[in-house]
């Protein structure tokens, strides 16, 4: 059944949640995160946007994991979450430091890598 | 047109094929005793010896070497022997003929070698004794260095003449070049000495390249470097018989070229035109060096080479004629320069160049006896002349200008030097019954009898040169040794500026007590001591006795002819083309001089091809004695008229009353700029500098620029290309976070698009 | 086990230097290098010289079996002599640096030792990958030595040195990879054994061989260096510390010539024959061009550096002659140049320590001031000039003789028994011989400036606080082995020649295999000649200097060849 679902087109009705729904949500979340990351200037918001992209990928992984009845994806998500948590701590600390340097949260102020 | 060598080669080929024996090991002492002196003297230097020990070590070892040489002469004369010290080059790549490169550190002893060995070791011993006194102002400074190089020179020279293969010859050849370099540059603080040393080495190197190519060509062509194999090889014998039978064209070009290249080497070492320019400059070295290396021994190496390789030279149709012309041109050119010089040592240097020209011409006229005889006699009288000049230089604080010296004959303590000088001058001028007279005559006569490319013209040129030689020789003698006693001290002592001249009280140093009219305040000439006088006396006697060599075994044209008969330089003179015809004409021995042996070669009657020349219709061998005597005496007379002291022959001849003025000054004034040109050596050095050195220097600078800008520039360009690419892409790196994010998103988008496009 | 020990011991000593907290680096290094000398002597004694062509003292260990990689060490007599040179120069460099290196001693001596290991690895590797790793790894220590311990322009020099030689050897790697790939295709499995790969490479056709030749030469020619890829050398030499220059001139350059000897000749003999004239022209240009550049230098170290380019031109020429005399001469040249030029760099270093200048305009006339130094200087200059009796002559004349006899000589019906198979000839030798004159010109120019003449010292010169005016015992002790080497190799080279005769002749045999018709002419071009224009035969004979008398001989041999085809 699942396989047929996978091979069918876009679901016509919203009666059953198929893989595509999850993936669609994931893609939307990722795109939103990306757009947010590009458009916003506030470092914290940008960071939150990256988190959003992370979670989008997490949803996709879990969805696939369920779809293929394998646990690898879920395990991976747990890894990702853990690392994301650590990362969050690190990133927020960096943001605080950057704020201390320039008294602003505007990300466009920093351009030290200019070639 | 080389019929004559061909016909005369029959016996030469037979001799060369003679069995080669093994020499006893003790002959190794001959070259290695001088080496021992080098080692011991080096040890002296290491242990900081400040005495005259090095001189006595050298004299002892060289004398030992001479004694062993004499023993070798007694034991081995007339045979050909080899002895090997160790294997030097030893390589093979197959078992066939020529598939190996073997050159032993070994020695080949035949009569030609013995001849050279004897005068090299003998003269070296005498000159070492002389140098022990001459160099004594350098005791503790350069004394050891001098004798190390001196010993090394004798070793190298012996390797050159004794080596049993061409590479050993090359070793000696460059070894003597090194010692010459070190000894010319002995007074190394003097820029001229350094430049002269460098010039000598480099000009010699040009010749060495010719020699090297000749050696390589010999090796490739004959497959061997060893004389023993080479001279006995069927290939060489085949070529020789081809030449003999008039099929000179059958000898391959490559084999003919060997002689040409060897000749270039000989020209370099023996200071022949156009490579002679180093020798006059080489007089910057201490005088014993000039005497030994640059007059008596080293510069005869080229002659040795030709004499040794004569069989190969005879294969070439042009090598010997070129040698003849070059020798004659050199003789004349050097004589013209010699006439206009004022530095007596340089005059002697040019006379050496000139006399070497005679020797080359002699060899080329197929008179190897004449050429080699002149080598031997010249070695003695030229060494004597140089040593006399050296004594003058030593005594007068480096003064060598003949305008500032006069009347040494009359000064106390200078008589032996004066007599020695006179004997040397008589020999050099070719005054009858001196050794130089006999040896020069042999060459001159052969010029007229040998058929060849304008040889009789060369003969006349050489005769003229003989007259010029007599003139400039006696110019020196009359100016410096006769006339009123006048002198000026030189301003320096051989460039060693920290030298203080020591007068050893109580030694045999006579001082001239009077007529110090125009010399510096407290200068006292420093008459030579015992050792210098002793050596000069010995050499004078030897130079006189050398004439006697002509009377030993007259049927072979003297002792030299006897010696050469058993060697590769087999005497073509005795087997000569004209003697048979002469024999027929004269039918009798010539009694005119009681020593004439030219006609005695009657056993070569089969060579009567009648191609011999003549002088004004007379037979050259008969009249040459008179003609050359006339030329020589005329030269002396002119010198006496121009430079002779007042009262030499009352009234007409002579008349010089001052050191600096003579009758020739007036003559020179009438000649315009020519004497000045001659004094400036016809500007040959400047010409070479203009033609070779400067352009080469410019080219080198250009190469340097090319290397920096073009060759390295291209490399740097390759380095810059990636950098430029990076520069081009640089603006893309804005450093703004959003820019990176956008481009990343764009990249993802592009990838997605491509994936979609490919899959859908 | 000797060979692995020779590689490992310097590494261990380097480790010891790094981890030893106390400042004993120089003594540990000296001790380690002297220990290597002892082992090296043991290796020389353990080697069976009568079978010089066979690899001996072998050591094989599996490395990556799936790729056929092995830790395979072994040495024939040629390699062993070069190993001996490396080992000899080790303590000389280390002890010679005692007074010159004052800072970062640990770094300096540790890298010197590591460099020694890598160089020995190059010479005794019998596995291509191992060879290549060692070959490339020599760059790292040298880079660091130049970059950290060099003089003013050291950063530029070290970067250029690294990038230039690295680029070259990467191209060589491509060539090797191609051969290895060919081998795996033919044999069905990977192997990097040098002997096996050689057999494969020889079986390739001329077209393939030519490309491999190009690739290998790109690597080795830069290393040698051959004109026109030499420009890194003067820069690196000038900027390197003394020991760096000594090793660079003494051993690192020889990696290039060794590579040509060990890989180019046996791997691609046919292409070598084909392109030898072209390469020889480059070598000759290098000899004269670099020599003339030497002549106008004022920087004495640069002069000697350029002289290396000139000298190694002779060495390469001997290799391109592909005959026994030439290749033997070339191998000897590798040793001799290492001794004499290494010594010259040491001498210059000793002078530099005292006068802090390399300019011959500022310093000169040292003959009166430093007599011992001057004696050694003149001695080594003469060795370098190629004075017979010293080592330079032996190899130089052999390279020239080899070049001279390498040509279509034997075709003349036995007229030239000394001729051998090859594609060069007398013209090449004569032109290269001009290098002898040029060498005398620039080396005597240098001697004239620096040794002879009035004493000149740079402004504000003051005596070195530690070193005496002239050489001290340590410096003399460092120079004496080199001087003895020059003298002994110059007077008694025959044992060396015998020792390397077998491997050299084995190598030559690969080339001689193409001497099919016995004429000494390369079959390919005889073919081409006849195909293109028949009347060229006579011209050819004339080109090679045969006179009319032998014109018919040449015709005869050609007509025989015609039948052969």
The whole-angstrom separation of Cα B640 and Cα B477 is 9
Identify the band that residue C434 occupies on the pLDDT scale cut at 50, 70 and 90: very high
Q: Which CATH class is domain A18-104?
A: mainly alpha
* A82/A87 Cα distance (integer angstroms): 8
C-alpha–C-alpha distance, residues C351 and C409, integer Å: 49
**What percent of chain B clears pLDDT 90, i.e. is strictly above it?**
24
Asked if the model's pLDDT at residue B595 lies above 60, the reply is: no
Q: Dmax of chain A from CA atoms?
A: 58
Residue B752 touches partner C, C-beta closer than 8 Å: no
DSSP notation for B313-333: HTT-SSHHHHHHHHHHHHHHH
C-chain residues within 8 Å CB-CB of B275?
none
Contact yes or no for B569/B303 (Cβ under 8 A): no
pLDDT at C67: 84
> Are the Cβ atoms of B745 and A34 closer than 8 angstroms?
yes
Nearest to B216 among C394, C401, C546 (CB): C401
Using alpha carbons, select from B639, B690, B240, B709 the residue that is nearest to residue B426: B639
Over residues B21-32, the pLDDT tens digits come to 888 889 899 999
Residue C484 lies in a domain: yes
From the list B730, B737, B741, which residue is nearest A115 (CB)?
B730
pLDDT in tens, C91-110: 999 999 888 888 888 899 99
In this structure, the answer to whether residues C467 and C536 fall within a common structural domain is no
Tell me if C517 is assigned to some domain. Answer: no
Chains that touch A (3 or more CB pairs under 8 A): B
Residues C449 and C558 grouped into a single domain: no
Give the pLDDT of residue B189: 87
Chain-centroid distance, C-alpha B360: 11
Chains that touch B (3 or more CB pairs under 8 A): A, C
Residue B615: the pLDDT is: 65
Whether residues C426 and C537 share a domain: the answer is no
What pLDDT, on the 0 to 100 scale, is given for residue B627? Answer: 85
Is C135:C122 a contact under the CB 8 Å cutoff? yes
Is B760 at the interface with chain C, CB within 8 A?
Answer: no
B737 contacts in A (CB within 8 Å)?
46, 107-108, 110
| A37 in contact with chain B, both atoms CB, cutoff 8 A | yes
B732, B737, B743, best to mutate vs chain A, most A CBs in 10 Å: B737
Nearest C-alpha in B relative to C302: B704
| Count of domains forming chain C | 2
Residue of C388, C413, C449 best to disrupt the B interface, most CBs of B under 10 A: C388
Residue C118 φ then ψ, to 5°: -60, -40
Residue B662: which pLDDT band, with cuts at 50, 70 and 90? confident
Beta-carbon contacts of residue C468 (< 8 Å; ≥ 6 apart): none
Q: What is the rounded (10 degree) CA torsion for B432, B436, B442, B445?
A: -60
Q: Does B6 have pLDDT greater than 80?
A: no
pLDDT per residue as tens digits for the range C258-317: 999 999 999 999 899 889 999 999 999 999 999 999 999 999 999 999 999 999 999 999
The distance of A23 to chain B (nearest Cα, Å) reads 15
Contacts of A98 (CB under 8 A, 6+ apart): A43, A105, A110
Domain assignment of residue C560, given as a range: 523-564
Pairing of strands C69-75, C56-64: antiparallel
> How far is the C-alpha of B384 from the C-alpha of B399, rounded, in Å?
18
- Are C532 and C477 found together in one domain? no
- Whether A38 sits inside 8 A of B741 (CB atoms) is yes
Q: How confident is the model at residue B228, as a pLDDT? A: 87
Tell me whether residues A114 and B745 touch, CB distance under 8 A.
no
Please say whether the beta carbons of C100 and C349 come within 8 A.
yes
How close is the nearest chain C Cα to the Cα of B168, in Å?
A: 9
Task: With CA atoms as reference, report the closest residue to B342 among B675, B11, B53, B673.
Answer: B675
Q: Parallel, antiparallel, or unpaired for β B81-92 and B21-22?
A: parallel
CA–CA min distance A108, chain B (Å): 6
Give chains near C: 3+ CB pairs under 8 A. B
B732 chain-A contacts, CB cut-off 8 A: 115
pLDDT at residue A15, rounded to an integer? 64
Q: Is the dihedral of CA B530, B532, B537, B542 positive or negative?
A: positive
Cα separations in angstroms, A31 against A24, C126, C499: 10, 58, 76
B733 in reach of chain A (CB within 8 A): yes
Dump pLDDT digits (tens) for A23-70.
999 999 999 999 998 888 888 998 899 899 999 999 999 999 988 888
C-alpha span between B296 and B302 (Å, rounded): 12
The answer on C487 and C546 residing in a single domain is no
Q: Which residues of B touch A115 (CB under 8 A)?
A: 729-733, 735
List the one residue out of B204, B473, B469 whose CA is nearest residue B355.
Answer: B469
Average pLDDT, whole number, for chain A?
A: 84
**Mutation target among C321, C378, C427, C440 for the B interface, most CBs of B within 10 A:** C440
State whether C123 and C89 are in the same domain: yes
CB B146 within 8 A of CB B183: yes
Nearest-CA distance A99 → chain B (Å):
16
Nearest CA in chain B to C508: B93
Is B408 within 8 Å of B480 (Cβ atoms)?
yes
Instruction: Give the pLDDT band (50/70/90) at residue B492.
Output: low
For residue range B374-403, list pLDDT tens digits in order: 888 999 999 999 999 988 888 888 888 888
A vs B: CB pairs below 8 A: 33
- What does B424-490 look like in DSSP terms, one character per residue? HHHHHHT-TTSHHHHHHHHHHHHHHHS--SSHHHHHHHHHHHHHHHHHHHHHHHHHHHSSS-EE---
- Tell me which of A93-107, B522-536, C380-394 is least confident: B522-536
Looking at the predicted structure, is the pLDDT value of residue B245 above 60? yes
Of A34, A110, A113, which has the smallest distance from its Cβ to B733's Cβ?
A113
Tell me which of B194, B207, B496 to substitute to probe the interface with C (most C C-beta atoms closer than 10 Å). B194
Helix then strand count (H, E) for chain C reads: 24, 2
**pLDDT on residue B512:** 42
CB of B568 within 8 Å of a chain C CB? The answer is no
Best of C53, C232, C296 to disrupt the B interface (most B CBs within 10 Å) is: C296
DSSP states of A37-99 as a string? HHH--BHHHHHHHHHHHHHHHHHHHHHHHHHHT-SHHHHHHHHHHHHHHHHHHHHHHHHHHHH
Cβ-in-10-Å burial (0-12, 13-18, 19+) of C530 comes to middle
CB contact under 8 A, B731 and A115: yes
B136-192 confidence digits (pLDDT tens): 888 877 888 899 999 999 999 999 999 999 999 999 999 999 999 999 999 888 888
Contact C389 B220 (CB under 8 A): no
User: Would the CB atoms of B733 and A46 count as touching at under 8 Å?
Assistant: no
Angstroms from A74 CA to nearest CA on chain B: 25
pLDDT over threshold 70, residue B202: yes
Is the pTM of the predicted complex or chain greater than 0.90? no
At residue C22, the pLDDT reads: 79
Chain A nearest CA to B727, separation (Å) = 9
Is the predicted pLDDT of residue B10 greater than 50, yes or no?
A: no
Q: How far apart are CA B403 and CA B480, in angstroms?
A: 8
Average pLDDT over chain B reads: 81
Residue among A38, A112, A114 whose CB faces B745 most closely: A38
The predicted structure's pLDDT at residue B11: 42
Would C24 be classed as within a structural domain? yes
What region does B104 belong to: left with phi over 0, alpha with psi -120 to 50, or beta? beta
Contact C96, C482 (CB under 8 A): no
Judge contact between B466 and B426, C-beta under 8 A. Answer: no
Question: Are residues C543 and C406 part of one domain?
Answer: no
The rounded mean pLDDT for chain C is: 86
Tell how far CA B22 is from the center of its chain.
31
- Tracing tokens 């990556």 back to the chain, one arrives at C64
Contacts of B90 in chain C (CB under 8 A): 494, 497-498
ipTM score assigned to the predicted complex: 0.88
Count CA within 13 A, CB hemisphere, residue B138.
Answer: 23
In this complex, do C409 and B205 lie within 8 Å of one another by their Cβ atoms?
Answer: no
Q: Is B720 on the interface with C (CB under 8 A)?
A: no
Q: Mean pLDDT over residues C347-358, rounded?
A: 90
Contacts of C34 (CB under 8 A, 6+ apart): C91
Interchain proximity B219–C401, CB inside 8 Å: yes
Residues C364 and C449 in one domain: yes
Angle, CA B387 vertex, CA B414 and CA B489 arms, to 5°:
55
**Cα-to-chain-centroid distance, residue C62:** 31
Cβ under 8 Å to C: B residues 185-214: 185, 188-189, 191, 193-195, 197-198, 201-202, 205-206, 208-209, 212-213
* CA distance linking residue C486 with residue C85, whole number of Å: 12
Helix (H, G, I), strand (E, B) or coil at B760: coil
A115 and B745 within 8 Å at the Cβ level: the answer is no
Q: Is A115 on the interface with B (CB under 8 A)?
A: yes
Asked if C499 and C530 sit in the same domain, the reply is: no
Task: Write the burial class of residue B716 (CB in 10 Å: 0-12 exposed, 13-18 middle, 19+ buried).
Answer: middle
CB contact under 8 A, B101 and C505: no
Task: Look up residue C310 and give its two tokens.
Answer: 């000139």
Q: What's the pLDDT band for B16 if we cut at 50, 70, 90? A: very low
| Burial class of B754 by CB neighbour count within 10 A (0 to 12, 13 to 18, 19+) | exposed
The more confidently predicted of residues B513 and C147 is C147
Q: B249 touching C, CB under 8 A? A: yes
pLDDT above 50: residue B569: yes
Region B84-95: mean pLDDT is 88
* Alpha carbon distance B584, B589 (integer Å): 11
In this structure, the answer to whether residues C261 and C335 fall within a common structural domain is yes
Size of interface B-C (CB pairs under 8 A): 192
Q: Which positions in chain B touch C292 (Cβ < 8 Å)?
A: 696, 699-700, 703
Closest-CA residue of A relative to B734 is: A114
Q: Are the beta carbons of C440 and B170 separated by less than 8 Å?
A: no
Ranking B242-251, B566-575, C326-335, C464-473 by mean pLDDT, the lowest is B566-575
H or E element at residue C196: helix C194-202
Structure-token pair, residue B357: 């020209």
Query: What backbone torsions phi and psi does residue B91 show, to the nearest 5 degrees?
Result: -150, 140
Q: Give B-chain residues touching C163 at CB under 8 angstroms.
A: 719
What's the pLDDT band for C513 if we cut at 50, 70, 90? confident
């Amino acid at each position: 059944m699942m396989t047929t679902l996978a091979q069918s087109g876009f679901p016509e009705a919203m009666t059953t949640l198929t893989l595509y729904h999850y993936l669609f949500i994931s893609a939307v979340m990722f795109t939103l995160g990306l757009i947010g990351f590009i458009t916003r200037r506030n470092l914290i918001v940008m960071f939150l946007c990256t988190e959003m992209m992370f979670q989008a990928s997490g949803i996709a992984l879990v969805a696939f994991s369920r779809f293929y009845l394998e646990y690898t994806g879920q395990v991976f998500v747990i890894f990702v979450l853990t690392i994301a948590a650590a990362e969050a701590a690190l990133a927020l600390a960096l943001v605080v430091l950057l704020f201390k340097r320039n008294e602003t949260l505007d990300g466009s102020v920093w351009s030290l890598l200019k070639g | 047109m080389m019929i004559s060598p061909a016909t005369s080669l029959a016996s030469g080929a037979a001799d060369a094929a003679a069995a080669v024996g093994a020499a006893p090991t003790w002959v190794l002492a001959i070259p290695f005793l001088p080496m021992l002196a080098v080692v011991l003297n080096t040890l002296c230097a290491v242990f900081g010896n400040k005495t005259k020990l090095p001189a006595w070590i050298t004299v002892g070892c060289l004398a030992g070497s001479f004694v062993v040489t004499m023993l070798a002469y007694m034991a081995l004369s007339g045979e050909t022997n080899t002895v090997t010290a160790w294997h030097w080059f030893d390589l093979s790549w197959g078992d066939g003929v020529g598939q190996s490169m073997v050159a032993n550190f070994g020695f080949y002893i035949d009569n030609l070698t013995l001849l050279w060995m004897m005068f090299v070791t003998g003269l070296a011993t005498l000159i070492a004794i002389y140098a022990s006194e001459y160099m004594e102002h350098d005791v503790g400074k350069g004394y050891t260095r001098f004798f190390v190089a001196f010993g090394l020179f004798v070793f190298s020279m012996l390797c050159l003449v004794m080596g049993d293969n061409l590479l050993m010859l090359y070793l000696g050849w460059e070894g003597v070049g090194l010692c010459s370099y070190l000894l010319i540059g002995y007074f190394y603080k003097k820029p001229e000495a350094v430049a002269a040393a460098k010039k000598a080495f480099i000009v010699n190197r040009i010749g060495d390249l010719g020699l090297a190519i000749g050696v390589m060509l010999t090796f490739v062509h004959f497959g061997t470097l060893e004389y023993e194999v080479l001279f006995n090889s069927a290939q060489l014998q085949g070529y020789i018989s081809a030449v003999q039978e008039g099929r000179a064209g059958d000898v391959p070009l490559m084999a003919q070229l060997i002689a040409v290249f060897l000749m270039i080497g000989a020209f370099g070492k023996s200071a022949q035109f156009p490579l002679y320019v180093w020798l006059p400059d080489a007089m910057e070295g201490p005088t014993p060096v000039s005497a030994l290396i640059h007059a008596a021994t080293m510069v005869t190496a080229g002659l040795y080479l030709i004499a040794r390789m004569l069989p190969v030279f005879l294969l070439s149709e042009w090598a010997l004629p070129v040698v003849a012309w070059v020798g004659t041109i050199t003789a004349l050119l050097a004589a013209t320069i010699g006439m206009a010089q004022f530095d007596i040592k340089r005059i002697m240097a040019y006379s050496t160049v000139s006399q070497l020209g005679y020797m080359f011409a002699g060899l080329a006229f197929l008179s190897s006896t004449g050429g080699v005889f002149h080598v031997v006699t010249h070695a003695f009288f030229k060494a004597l002349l140089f040593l006399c000049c050296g004594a003058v230089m030593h005594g007068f604080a480096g003064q060598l200008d003949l305008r500032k010296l006069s009347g040494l004959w009359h000064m106390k303590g200078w008589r032996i030097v004066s007599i020695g000088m006179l004997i040397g001058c008589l020999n050099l001028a070719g005054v009858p019954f001196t050794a130089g007279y006999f040896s020069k005559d042999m060459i001159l006569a052969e010029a007229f009898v040998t058929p060849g490319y304008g040889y009789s013209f060369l003969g006349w040129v050489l005769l003229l040169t003989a007259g010029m030689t007599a003139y400039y020789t006696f110019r020196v003698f009359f100016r410096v040794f006769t006339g009123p006693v006048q002198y000026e001290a030189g301003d320096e002592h051989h460039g060693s500026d920290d030298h203080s001249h020591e007068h050893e009280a109580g030694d045999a140093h006579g001082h001239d007590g009077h007529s110090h009219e125009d010399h510096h305040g407290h200068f006292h000439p420093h008459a030579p001591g015992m050792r210098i006088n002793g050596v000069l006396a010995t050499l004078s006697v030897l130079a006189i006795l050398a004439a006697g060599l002509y009377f030993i075994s007259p049927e072979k044209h003297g002792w030299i002819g006897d010696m050469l008969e058993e060697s590769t330089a087999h005497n073509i003179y005795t087997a000569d083309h004209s003697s048979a015809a002469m024999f027929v004409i004269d039918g009798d021995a010539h009694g005119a001089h009681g020593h004439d042996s030219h006609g005695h070669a009657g056993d070569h009657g089969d060579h009567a091809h009648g191609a011999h020349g003549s002088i004004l219709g007379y037979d050259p061998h008969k009249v040459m004695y008179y003609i050359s005597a006339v030329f020589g005496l005329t030269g002396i007379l002119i010198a006496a008229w121009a430079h002779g002291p007042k009262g030499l022959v009352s009234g007409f001849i002579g008349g010089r009353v001052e050191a600096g003025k003579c009758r020739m000054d007036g003559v020179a004034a009438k000649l315009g700029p020519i004497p000045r040109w001659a004094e400036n050596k016809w500007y040959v050095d400047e010409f070479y500098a203009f033609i070779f050195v400067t352009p080469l220097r410019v080219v080198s600078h250009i190469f340097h620029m090319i290397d920096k800008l073009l060759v390295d520039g291209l490399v740097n360009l390759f380095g810059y290309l990636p950098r430029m690419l990076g520069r081009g892409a640089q603006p893309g790196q804005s450093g703004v976070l959003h820019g990176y994010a956008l481009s990343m998103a764009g990249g993802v988008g592009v990838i997605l698009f491509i994936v979609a496009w490919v899959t859908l | 086990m000797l060979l692995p020990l020779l590689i490992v011991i310097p590494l261990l000593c380097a480790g010891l230097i790094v981890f030893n907290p106390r400042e004993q680096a120089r003594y540990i290094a000296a001790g380690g290098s002297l220990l290597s000398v002892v082992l090296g002597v043991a290796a020389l004694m353990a080697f069976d010289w009568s079978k010089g062509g066979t690899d001996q003292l072998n050591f094989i260990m599996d490395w990556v079996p799936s790729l056929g990689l092995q830790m395979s060490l072994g040495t024939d007599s040629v390699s062993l002599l070069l190993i001996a040179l490396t080992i000899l120069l080790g303590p000389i460099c280390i002890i010679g640096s005692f007074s010159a290196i004052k800072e970062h001693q640990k770094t300096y001596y540790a890298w010197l030792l590591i460099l020694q290991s890598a160089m020995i690895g190059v010479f005794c590797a019998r596995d291509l990958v191992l060879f290549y790793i060692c070959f490339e790894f020599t760059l790292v220590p040298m880079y660091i030595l130049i970059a950290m311990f060099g003089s003013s322009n050291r950063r530029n020099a070290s970067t250029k040195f690294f990038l230039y030689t690295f680029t070259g050897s990467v191209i060589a790697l491509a060539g090797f990879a191609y051969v290895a790939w060919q081998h795996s295709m033919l044999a069905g499995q990977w192997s990097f054994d040098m002997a096996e790969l050689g057999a494969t490479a020889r079986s390739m056709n001329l077209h393939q061989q030519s490309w491999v030749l190009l690739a290998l030469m790109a690597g080795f020619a830069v290393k040698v260096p051959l004109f026109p890829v030499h420009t890194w050398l003067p820069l690196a030499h000038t900027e390197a510390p003394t020991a760096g220059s000594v090793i660079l001139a003494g051993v690192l350059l020889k990696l290039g010539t060794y590579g040509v000897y060990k890989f180019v000749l046996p791997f691609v003999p046919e292409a070598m024959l084909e392109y030898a004239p072209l390469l020889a022209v480059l070598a000759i240009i290098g000899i004269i061009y670099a020599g003339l550049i030497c002549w106008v230098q004022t920087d004495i170290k640069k002069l000697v550096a350029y002289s290396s380019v000139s000298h190694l031109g002779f060495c390469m020429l001997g290799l391109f002659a592909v005959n026994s005399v030439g290749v033997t001469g070339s191998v000897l040249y590798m040793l001799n140049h290492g001794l004499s030029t290494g010594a010259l760099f040491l001498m210059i270093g000793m002078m530099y320590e005292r006068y802090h200048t390399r300019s011959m305009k500022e310093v000169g006339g040292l003959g009166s001031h430093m007599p011992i130094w001057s004696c050694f200087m003149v001695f080594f200059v003469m060795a370098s000039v190629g004075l017979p009796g010293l080592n330079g002559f032996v190899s130089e004349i052999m390279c020239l003789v080899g070049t001279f006899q390498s040509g279509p000589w034997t075709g003349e019906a036995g007229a030239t028994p000394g001729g051998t198979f090859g594609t060069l000839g007398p013209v090449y030798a004569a032109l290269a011989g001009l290098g002898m004159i040029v060498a005398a010109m620039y080396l005597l120019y240098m001697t004239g400036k620096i040794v002879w003449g009035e004493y000149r010292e740079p402004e504000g010169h003051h005596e070195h606080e530690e070193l005496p005016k002239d050489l001290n015992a340590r410096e003399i002790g460092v120079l004496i082995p080199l001087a003895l080497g020059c003298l002994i190799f110059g007077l008694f080279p025959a044992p060396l020649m015998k020792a390397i005769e077998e491997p050299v002749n084995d190598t030559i045999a690969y080339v001689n295999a193409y001497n099919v018709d016995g004429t000494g002419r390369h079959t390919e071009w005889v073919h081409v000649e006849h195909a293109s224009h028949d009347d060229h035969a006579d011209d050819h004979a004339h080109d090679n200097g045969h006179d009319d008398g032998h014109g018919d001989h040449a015709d005869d041999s050609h007509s025989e060849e015609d039948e052969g085809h």
